[in-house]
Amino acid sequence: MNDLGQFLLRAEEEMDFLPIIPLNESEQDDLNGIEIPDELALLPLRNTVLFPGVVLPITVGRDKSIKAVQEAYKGDKLIGVVAQKDSSVEDPTVLDLEDIGTVAKVVKLIKMPDGGTTIIIQGKSRFKIDSILFDDPYFKAKIIRLEEDESPAEADFDAYVSNIKELATEIVKLSPNIPTEAAIILKNIENPSFLIHFVSSNLNTDIREKQELLKLDRIRERADLLMKLLQKELQFAELKNKVTTKTRTELDKQQREYFLQQQLKSIKEELGGDPNQQEIKEMLKKAENKKWPDAAKETFKKGIEKLERMHPSTPDYSVVYNHLDLMLELPWDTCTEDIYDLKKAKKTLDTDHYGMQKIKERILEYLAVLKLKGDMKSPILCFVGPPGIGKTSLGRSIASAIGRKYVRLSLGGLHDESEIRGHRKTYIGAMPGRILQSLKKAKTSNPVMILDEIDKVGSDQRGDPSSALLEVLDPEQNNSFYDNYLEMEYDLSKVLFIATANTLQNIQPALRDRLEIIDLSGYAVEEKMEIAKTHLLPKQKELHGLKENSFRLSDKVLEKVIQDYTRESGVRELDRMLASIMRYQAKEQVMNGKLKASLTTDDIELILGKPKYSNDIYKTVNMPGVAVGLAWTYVGGDILFIETSLSDGKGELKLTGNLGNVMKESASTALTYLQSNAGKYKLDTKLFEKKNIHIHVPEGAVPKDGPSAGITMMVSIASALTGKKVKPYLAMTGEITLRGQVLPVGGIKEKVLAAKRAGLKEIIVCAQNEKDVEEIDPEFIQGVKFHYVKKMNEVIEIALG
């Protein structure tokens, strides 16, 4: 029965009493018949209020309380029970006691084994303290008994009682610590007064509110206040139940996941172990034989420890795993051994590429120093030259010659700096930079790395990749290159970087300063013929299934293909022409079953059509006012016609042909020089006032600029003004000044070879460019006469006779 009496109490609250109901409810009817004396010993209670009819077990601990109980137990067993105003007061005085209490009968007194005293008391009737007689050795007071109000006869009072029962039952249902039998007991209590007292006693509310219930004389008012308190308690119970249910749901979910994970683990163990643990073991096994710096080893160790603590389903697991996997894949201190046999290296380079002596010498010098010293920082080379001359393929040849791995990194159109440095590994889809990816692919830390088209690197709001390359291509810094994904420094000093570019103009100055520039000029006709015979023809024969056929192309035929069907510095167009010839030969082989032993020039015209280019144009342009200049473009040298025409007017100068500012200024300078020196060259000064001069450079859709056409424009204007024709098959290049000097220009080799390809026989250049001409192989410029000049009058004498 004790358990049943605990309902409506918070389980976590420590109580030293246990409300119970009387064994016989009919005793409630006899309460009014008990004789209660005027003077009673008082028992102060700290944590509850006793109501009439309710039975309470009380543990008595204070000396005064024990003496009061013992005194009452000796006599009529009646004692006055009052509540303390403040339950924290250990030794209460008269002022600490409530003035309304309940007369209780000590039903039983039990001596406990630990020396304590427990009594079971039953409330009989309410009383009011009239006066305190004494407070030592216990409290004794003169009391006034308060009569209980009869149950109201109104019909709605039954509704009050019924409502109290329902509210109390609802609270019992919502409180898991209260046994369900309590609801049955509540239902069976018929006496309204006892019901109110019983529920009030067990109500989980503040002691002062319980005291207020006890003070009320009218039972209806007591029922009214009790209902309000029950409503409040019901709301609290509902809220508590909601929170408890939510917490339990979350715990149930976690327990379910844990249980399933344990089951999954057991299944995996039965099938041969957890694959994630297997992956970690494999990583550790790979790491044992890895040659890497201490810093990398420490970082890997921390990463593995972190991975072991993580569940594979967490998002960060794959991030950490991929990072560690990259660390294992990178070569770190793994390098290939270089071949120090210089003669063998030279033979390999010569076999793969014709000419290019300057580059081959530079590579052999590097190998020689490496052999003597054993270790040196790799040079950062940059091959600059027109397209199609073999810059990229030369990198592969160099790698083969020195016995290193080859990787190519195309920088053309690169806009994002992260392509070089990598993305931070926390980003979705993050990757290391292209530099580390290439090293991972090469599986060695000293490959030959081709940075192709370094002049085509762009920049936008995502960063400037050329600035990121500053660190990569600086021998003083690249031993500690930092990649954002790896989050560690990596040594790139052993990598042999070779950059390729068509022009230096688009390369950032700071980046250009870090590169060792090696200029590659275009090929002469003789070089192209040699390349065609050694490399291109065998390659095309094999590609078209004609390797076993022994037909040949004579030098005369090859020369015709080169001169009449191509106009380039490299050999790409030549390669395409030879591919056309091979396709024709393949068709002939399949259709007729045999091939001619050799192809003639007529056969070439039949296969490739009429010649695309002709040198006869230079014979037909022999008229006053037309001069031939030499230009440099990123695809090599080219021929430039400059035409001047006179018309009646006011001496205005008109320039057409899509010319740049520098070229326009060269025309103005040439005209001013001729005006100021008209007497010297026997020019009619009136012509400058009466004639308009129109200078046009053909191929108007092509932009043209630069100072090297200065002397050509001057000769063209002088020819038009004097009416004299320019010497045939004569080309010229050079910058002019108002003082009449001829200044040197660049790109001499490309320009001279372009003039030779075009069939020109004489070339005027500045005397200071003589050293550039001497660098050209004499065989390639055989039959070309050079005029080295310092003054402009020398140019006019040679050009106009």
Using DSSP's 3-state secondary structure scheme, residue 41 falls into strand
Asked if residue 194 lies in contact with residue 25, where contact means CB atoms within 8 angstroms, the answer is yes
Give CA–CA dist 675/687, Å, rounded: 10
Asked if residue 233 lies in contact with residue 171, where contact means CB atoms within 8 angstroms, the answer is yes
Percent of the chain with pLDDT over 90: 17
Q: Return the DSSP state at 336.
A: P
State pLDDT tens for residues 317-328.
888 888 899 899
Token pair listed for 135:
């407070």
Q: Is 242 a catalytic residue?
A: no
Q: Which among 225-229, 247-251, 372-376 has the top mean pLDDT?
A: 225-229
Q: Which among 22-31, 32-41, 136-145, 523-532 has the top mean pLDDT?
A: 136-145
Mean pLDDT of 203-228: 84
Residue 6, pLDDT > 70, answer no
User: pLDDT class for 10, splitting at 50, 70, 90?
Assistant: very low
State pLDDT tens for residues 621-670.
567 888 999 988 766 678 888 999 999 888 899 999 888 899 999 999 99
> How many residues appear in the chain?
801
Q: What is the pLDDT of residue 644?
A: 92
Strands 730-732 and 626-633: parallel
What is the identity of the amino acid at 690?
A: K
Residue with tokens 């530079």: 362
Q: Is 749 a catalytic residue?
A: no
> Can you say whether residue 422 is alpha, beta or left, with left for phi > 0 and alpha for psi between -120 and 50 degrees?
left
Token pair listed for 434:
């292209």
User: Which segment of 371-380, 389-398, 483-492, 516-525 scores lowest on mean pLDDT?
Assistant: 371-380
Residue 373, pLDDT > 80, answer no
User: pLDDT class for 251, splitting at 50, 70, 90?
Assistant: low
pTM comes to 0.59
Q: What is the pLDDT of residue 619?
A: 52
Give CA–CA dist 273/173, Å, rounded: 49
DSSP 407-469: EEEE-TT---THHHH---TTSTT----HHHHHHHHHTSSS-EEEEETGGG---BTTB-HHHHH
Q: Could you check whether the bond before residue 778 is cis, i.e. omega within 30 degrees of 0?
A: no
Give CA–CA dist 633/746, Å, rounded: 11
State pLDDT tens for residues 256-300.
777 777 777 777 667 665 667 778 888 888 888 888 888 888 998
Percent of the chain with pLDDT over 70: 92
Residue 15, pLDDT > 80, answer no
Residue 117, pLDDT > 60, answer yes
Q: CA dist 60 to 16, 89, 349, 471, Å? A: 9, 15, 109, 86
Mean pLDDT of 157-176: 79
Using DSSP's 3-state secondary structure scheme, residue 86 falls into coil
Q: How many CA atoms lie within 13 A of 145 on its CB side?
A: 20
Catalytic residue among 541, 560, 691, 751: 751
Mean pLDDT of 145-163: 76
State pLDDT tens for residues 574-612.
999 999 999 999 998 889 888 888 888 888 999 999 988
Mean pLDDT of 25-53: 75
Give CA–CA dist 317/277, Å, rounded: 13
User: pLDDT class for 232, splitting at 50, 70, 90?
Assistant: confident
Asked if residue 323 lies in contact with residue 387, where contact means CB atoms within 8 angstroms, the answer is no
Q: Could you check whether the bond before residue 275 is cis, i.e. omega within 30 degrees of 0?
A: no
Q: Return the DSSP state at 504.
A: S
What is the identity of the amino acid at 766?
A: C
Catalytic residue among 418, 708, 716, 719: 708
Q: Which among 57-66, 237-246, 504-513, 575-584 has the top mean pLDDT?
A: 575-584
When the pLDDT of each residue in the chain is averaged and rounded to a whole number, the result is 83
Residue 702, pLDDT > 60, answer yes
Greater pLDDT, 615 or 165: 165
